[in-house]
Amino acid sequence: MIFFSKFQNCSSNFRLFASFLYDGGLLSATMATDRSKIIPPPDLVVQKFTESRAPELESLYSTIATRLTNNFKSQRNKRRRTTSYDNQASKTRFRKKQKFGVSNQNNDVNSEKQVKKAPPRHIRRRKELNENPKNGFCTSGNGTKRLRTHVWYAKRFTMITRWGFHLPLGLHGRGRGSRALLKWLKNGTVVHDASYYSAVQLEGSQDSILSILSIVMSPFPPSDAENVISGGIYATSMLHHSETPNSHTIAPVIYMWRPNQKSIDESEDHLKVNKGQTFRQLWIWIHAAALTEGYNALKNACESQGKVNEDVDSVKCISLEGQFGTLEVMGSKASHLLHKILNPVSIMSSRITSIMENEDDTSCCEVIPLVVNDPRVLTNNTEFDSSYTELWDANKGLFSPVEESVLCMEKHHQRLLSFCLTNKTSNDNNTPTTKMESSRFCPIILLKRNNLKDHSITRWTIILPLTWVKAFWIPLISNGAQAIGLRERSWVSCEAGIPSFPSEFPECDPYTSLKEAEASTIDEQASLRPVSMKPFDIPILPPWNCIQLAYGSNPNPNEPIPLQSNMVVARSARMLTGFLNTINDNHLLLFPHDKIKNTSILSKIIKDEKILDQVPNTSTFLENGSRKKLCFVRVVLRAYKEGVIEDGALVCAPSMDDIKLWTSGSNKKVDLQIPQSVMANYFVKEDSGKWKLQVPEDPAAMESNRWPIGFVTSGFVRGSKKPVAGGLCDAVLLAHIRHEQWSCVPLKKRKKEVYVLTRNLRSTSYRLALLSIVLEQQEEDLDHI
* SS3 label, residue 607: coil
CA dihedral of 317, 322, 326, 327, whole degrees rounded to 10: 180
Query: Residues of the chain with pLDDT > 70: what percent?
Result: 76
Q: Alpha-carbon distance 324 to 305, whole Å?
A: 28
Quickly list H helices, 638-730: 656-663, 676-680, 699-704
Q: Alpha-carbon distance 782 to 364, whole Å?
A: 14
Are residues 705 and 697 in contact, defined by beta-carbon separation less than 8 angstroms?
Answer: no
Q: Alpha-carbon distance 259 to 262, whole Å?
A: 10
Residues near 123 by beta carbon (within 8 Å), at least 6 away in sequence: 97, 100
pLDDT at 675 over 60: yes
Are residues 465 and 394 in contact, defined by beta-carbon separation less than 8 angstroms?
Answer: yes
* pLDDT, tens digit (0-9, with 9 covering 90-100), for 475-504: 999 999 999 999 999 999 999 889 999 999
Nearest to 728 by CA among 744, 711, 742: 711
Are residues 192 and 489 in contact, defined by beta-carbon separation less than 8 angstroms?
Answer: yes
pLDDT at 444 over 90: yes
Nearest to 654 by CA among 572, 783, 773, 758: 758
Report which DSSP code applies to 188. Answer: S
* pLDDT, tens digit (0-9, with 9 covering 90-100), for 527-577: 888 988 888 889 999 999 888 877 655 545 455 544 545 688 999 998 898
Q: What are phi and psi of 42, to 5 degrees?
A: -65, -40
Q: What is the pLDDT of residue 553?
A: 55
* pLDDT, tens digit (0-9, with 9 covering 90-100), for 215-228: 999 888 888 889 99
CA dihedral of 165, 169, 170, 172, whole degrees rounded to 10: -100
pLDDT at 170 over 90: yes
Cβ-count burial 216-234 (b if 16+ within 10 Å, e if not): bbbbeebeeeebbbebbbb
pLDDT band at 665 (very low <50, low <70, confident <90, very high): confident
CA dist 94 → 87, 123, 596 (Å): 15, 12, 73
Residues near 339 by beta carbon (within 8 Å), at least 6 away in sequence: 352, 353, 356
CA dist 607 → 45, 322, 557, 583, 656 (Å): 92, 56, 38, 26, 20
Residue of 505 and 77 predicted with greater confidence: 505
Residue of 345 and 767 predicted with greater confidence: 767
Nearest to 501 by CA among 697, 338, 677, 287: 287
* SS3 label, residue 246: coil
Report which DSSP code applies to 366. Answer: B
Name which of 88-102, 252-266, 514-528 the model is least confident about.
88-102
Strands of the 138-139 sheet, one edge to the other: 138-139, 145-146, 165-171, 157-162
Name which of 250-264, 268-282, 447-461, 678-692 the model is least confident about.
268-282
Quickly list H helices, 309-403: 334-341, 346-357
Give the mean pLDDT of the chain: 80
Are residues 755 and 770 in contact, defined by beta-carbon separation less than 8 angstroms?
Answer: yes
Are residues 506 and 251 in contact, defined by beta-carbon separation less than 8 angstroms?
Answer: no
Segment of 270-279, 306-315, 402-411, 632-641 carrying the highest mean pLDDT: 632-641
Nearest to 280 by CA among 242, 213, 231: 231
CA dist 398 → 154, 266, 348, 520, 583 (Å): 28, 21, 20, 42, 53
Q: What is the pLDDT of residue 627?
A: 62
Nearest to 6 by CA among 85, 87, 60: 60
Nearest to 736 by CA among 507, 558, 552: 552
Q: Alpha-carbon distance 521 to 25, whole Å?
A: 73
DSSP H or E stretch at residue 619: helix 618-624
Gap between the terminal Cα atoms of the chain: 67
Nearest to 28 by CA among 65, 56, 2, 6: 56
Across 18-163, the runs of DSSP E, i.e. the strands, are 138-139, 145-146, 157-162
Q: Alpha-carbon distance 156 to 138, whole Å?
A: 20
Kind of pairing between the strands at 683-685 and 767-773: unpaired
pLDDT at 380 over 90: no
Residues near 24 by beta carbon (within 8 Å), at least 6 away in sequence: none
Peptide bond into 502 cis (omega under 30): yes
Kind of pairing between the strands at 708-714 and 725-730: antiparallel
Kind of pairing between the strands at 198-205 and 190-193: unpaired
Residue type, 143: G
Residue type, 717: V
Segment of 93-107, 110-124, 307-321 carrying the highest mean pLDDT: 307-321
Residues near 304 by beta carbon (within 8 Å), at least 6 away in sequence: 242
Residues 97-123, mean pLDDT to the nearest whole number? 57
Residues 580-590, mean pLDDT to the nearest whole number? 77
Segment of 502-516, 530-544, 586-600, 695-709 carrying the highest mean pLDDT: 502-516
Q: What is the pLDDT of residue 31?
A: 43
| CB neighbour class for 615 (10 Å; exposed up to 12, middle 13-18, buried from 19) | middle
* pLDDT, tens digit (0-9, with 9 covering 90-100), for 389-443: 789 988 788 888 988 888 888 888 888 787 777 655 445 555 555 555 788 889 9
Q: What are phi and psi of 164, to 5 degrees?
A: 80, 10
CA dist 88 → 72, 73, 74, 80, 83 (Å): 21, 18, 18, 17, 9
Cβ-count burial 46-67 (b if 16+ within 10 Å, e if not): eeeeeeebeeebeebbeebeee
Q: Which residues pair with 193 in a beta bridge?
A: 327
pLDDT at 446 over 90: yes
Residue type, 581: N
Residues 162-168, mean pLDDT to the nearest whole number? 95
Are residues 759 and 766 in contact, defined by beta-carbon separation less than 8 angstroms?
Answer: yes
Residues in the chain: 785
Q: Alpha-carbon distance 441 to 389, whole Å?
A: 9
Q: What are phi and psi of 348, to 5 degrees?
A: -120, -5
Are residues 456 and 182 in contact, defined by beta-carbon separation less than 8 angstroms?
Answer: no
Q: Alpha-carbon distance 217 to 249, whole Å?
A: 9
For helices 486-496 and 178-187, angle between their N-to-C axes, nearest 10 degrees: 60
* SS3 label, residue 217: strand
